[in-house]
Chains A and B, each alone.
Chain A
Amino acid sequence: MEFDFAEEQPKFLMLMYGLIAFVAVVGGLLLLLDVVPAWFARRREAQLVAASTGGAPLPRRRKPREGLFALFFLLPTLLLLAIGLVGPAIRTVLLSFMDSGGNDWVGLRNYGWMFSEDSIVRVLLNTLIWVLLVPLVATTFGLLYAVMVDKARFESIAKSLIFLPMAISFVGASIIWKFVYAYRGDDQDQIGLLNQIVVSLGGEPRFWLQESPLNTLLLIVIMVWIQAGFAMVVLAAAIKAIPGDIVEAARLDGVTPWQMFWQITMPSIRPALIVVVVTLSIATLKVFDIVRTATNGNYDTSVIANEMYNQAFRYGEAGQGSALAVFLFILVIPLVIYQIRNLRQQREG
């Protein structure tokens, strides 16, 4: 394929606009945050100097009206939240009680559909499997890894290795793993790592992503692969933060490594552990990219977020899609409340 610069020019122009817009916005912000306060500071400085040398009256420092100030900064946020979050949320809830086009009220029919349609029950079940497995497995892996590499020789290298997948987008990671799971007929060269291993052990290549319920577990592996790094980083930091005297005291008391882990490490990092599990649970409830990229929700692998998109945008069933969205929202609420309470207790305690 030849590269014709002239033909691609519109794209470059577009790219340039993007860059210019980025620089303009960020530059403008920097300017605003740097130059303007600096100018005020300098003026005040000059006044102070004038006051101390010339005997002019010291300018009275104005009392900052904190309430007004806070409102000034909060207003844009509140406005954007109302437009971008609260409004759509209310609309979604209303739509979930309406028919496919959002014209007539149908009561709880969409919710009834959700729990009676076999394929949707399957979707709910899959989501449950995801939410049970991902936080558990990812946190366990992260914790084990954090404990094992703690104060090891190449700690930072070992940590970055497991943290790297975090930098890959969900879609990118799914494409990578799709290749790992890829199938080719047994008379062809395997391009999938997993099937190549199976074949070199003398087995028949399998359709990994087409066999339910195995395929859901294989998709969960992708999520764990991405998220274990996050769990590891947070937990490793928590372990490092355990006061040295406690560890030393335990050592003097002669604990075994096992006792050390369960009676010192675990209680000390409990708050961090909860944060990790809750964050992972919320992320898992919302999982969409992995399923959509790897199987598109086929072969009984669909989850709520994917089905919600399909119903609302592809099938034109806004009501059913909204009902799924509301259900997802309800599932996330207790986790968020728990998280907030947990944080508040920590701050007070």
Chain B
Amino acid sequence: MAFARSRQALAIAGVLGLALGAAACGTGNDKKSSNAGSAECAAYEKYGDNDGKKVTVYSSIRDIEADRLAQSWKQFEDCTGIEIDHEGSGEFEAQLPVRVDGGNAPDLAFIPQPGLLKRFADAGKLKPAAAATKTEAEANYSPDWLKYSTVNGQFYGAPLGSNVKSFVWYSPKTFKEKGWTVPTTWDELIKLSDTIAASGTKPWCVGIESQDATGWPATDWIEDVLLRTAGPEVYDQWTTHGIPFNDPKVADALNRAGTILKNEKYVNGGFGGVKSIATTSFQEAGVPITTGKCALHRQASFYANQWPKGTKVAEDGDVFAFYFPAIDPAQGKPVLGAGEFVAAFADRPEVQAVQTYLASGEYANSRAKIGDWVSANKKLDLANVPNPVDKLSVGILQDPKTVFRFDGSDLMPAAVGTGTFWKGMIEWINGKDTATVLGGIENSWK
């Protein structure tokens, strides 16, 4: 009996061995040979001879967006022979430090928070950008943008994608039917809201739920309003803790945002009372515009991806966006936005080649053509931007008169920017008063 059983076990082991061998054959080695030398590859010769090398990239970009990313650098891969291995994670912000501390850092990371980038730079984990990357970045981006990835005078990498946050989404169709007009000042905006509220519809849709990151859409509101009431200089002092977080000017901005966000007559179209803002996911929040349950939704340019299938996003379509009006004419036309930066944890030549390529105009145009993407790259040709909202955004970003400021919560230290600030906004929506919330956030900033 014992003999029979052991033979059986041996047989199993043998089959296993075969299976393992077969699987090993299945993977094969499918290294692409580069097409270097062909005519269309001439532009990539400057990235040097790195055939057969591999560069790992880590980011928060997933699903369709990740596929588009892979498509956007395909030609670069084919021509240079560098294989770019991209990995997107929904827990990017929490996992990147773990990977870096654990000695498993990616070659490149697309970091959307200058605060996080600074932390890595201060800890000496990041490699300064190569001279070629710096030259390319300086040629293509305004100094305003480059300063976010410059730490203590050292430049760490160019911006990649960008977005414009100062938009209010609306339905041009509904506006036409009801005879409403797009407001160009804050007073007009409030007047319009009152008109809509009087007609029995809740004018605004708001949602700040975003799983781990719940609260961020509310921080954008405060930042956008502060930029309009107090101006860019005060805004810069606020994001760098030059003035306390609970400065009266910030409190004013919060209260002004509150006249919309905490107004039971204004919110929350289709979702319930003010408190429902905290549980409404930001992806779903604007959708009731398409069914007429609300009329206005302040959200970034990338919200274009969130509309239900078949919704026409255009100036004369089902939905479109207008510029979130200025408040104080003396402060000009400020624009709030964000974007990610290509930072390197390795300085091998192929890594620097990819980093330089991603800063180039060729890359920006290659990615823009695929759609749903905005960049502040000056070489980006408007003709290559298919989506009308993206066109509007790129136009704003490239306009030299635009007073651009980066998302404040991303600039602050993580404990504040993605910690107490987010939490504070949730509590504020949930009923806590302005002074308590701002005081609490100020206390957490060391």
Which of A35, A117, A184 interacts with B6 by CB under 8 Å? A35
Nearest B residue to A182, CB-CB: B279
Q: Which B250-299 residues sit within 8 Å CB-CB of chain A?
A: 268, 270-273, 275-276, 278-279
Q: Which A173-222 residues sit within 8 Å CB-CB of chain B?
A: 183-186, 188, 205, 207, 209-210
The answer to whether A298 touches B270 (Cβ under 8 A) is: no
Which of B5, B98, B268, B415 interacts with A315 by CB under 8 Å? B415
Note all chain B residues with C-beta closer than 8 A to A296: 211-212, 214
Q: Given A117-B443, A183-B272, A315-B414, verify A41-B9 contact (CB < 8 Å).
A: no
Report the bound CA distance from A209 to B414 in whole Å: 26
Q: Which of A16-24, A231-239, A282-290 lies on the face that meets chain B? A: A16-24
Is A344 engaged at the interface, CB distance under 8 Å to the other chain? no
Note all chain A residues with C-beta closer than 8 A to B268: 185
Report the bound CA distance from A27 to B13 in whole Å: 7
Is B430 engaged at the interface, CB distance under 8 Å to the other chain? yes
Note all chain A residues with C-beta closer than 8 A to B415: 100, 311, 315-317
Note all chain B residues with C-beta closer than 8 A to A34: 5-6, 9
Note all chain A residues with C-beta closer than 8 A to B16: 20, 23-24, 27
Q: Which of B300-308, B310-318, B418-426 lies on the face that meets chain A? A: B418-426
Is B19 engaged at the interface, CB distance under 8 Å to the other chain? yes
Which of B9, B13, B272 interacts with A185 by CB under 8 Å? B272
Least CB distance from B379 to A in Å reads 33
Is A101 engaged at the interface, CB distance under 8 Å to the other chain? yes
The answer to whether B275 touches A210 (Cβ under 8 A) is: yes
The answer to whether A30 touches B279 (Cβ under 8 A) is: no
The answer to whether B26 touches A314 (Cβ under 8 A) is: no
Beta-carbon contacts of B90-105 to A below 8 Å, as 1s and 0s?
0001100110000000
Note all chain A residues with C-beta closer than 8 A to B413: 315-316
Is B2 engaged at the interface, CB distance under 8 Å to the other chain? yes
With A101-B119, A184-B271, A185-B270 given, can you name 15 additional A-B contacts, CB distance below 8 Å? Answer: A20-B16, A30-B9, A31-B10, A35-B9, A35-B10, A38-B6, A119-B420, A119-B444, A210-B430, A296-B214, A298-B278, A298-B427, A314-B414, A314-B418, A316-B413
Question: What are the 9 tightest A-B residue pairs by CB atom distance, in nearest-first order?
Answer: A185-B272, A315-B415, A313-B94, A315-B419, A35-B6, A316-B414, A315-B414, A38-B2, A38-B6
- Spell out B's residues near A (CB within 8 Å): 2-3, 5-6, 9-10, 12-13, 16, 19-20, 23, 26-27, 93-94, 97-98, 116, 119, 122-123, 211-212, 214, 268, 270-273, 275-276, 278-279, 413-415, 418-420, 423, 426-427, 430, 440, 443-444
Pull 26 A–B residue pairs with CB atoms less than 8 Å apart, ordered by A.
Answer: A16-B23, A17-B23, A20-B16, A20-B23, A27-B13, A34-B5, A35-B6, A101-B122, A101-B123, A117-B443, A118-B440, A119-B440, A119-B444, A183-B276, A185-B268, A185-B271, A298-B427, A299-B426, A299-B427, A299-B430, A313-B94, A314-B419, A315-B413, A315-B414, A316-B97, A316-B116
- Spell out A's residues near B (CB within 8 Å): 13, 16-17, 20, 23-24, 27-28, 30-31, 34-35, 38-39, 41-42, 100-101, 117-119, 183-186, 188, 205, 207, 209-210, 296, 298-299, 310-311, 313-317
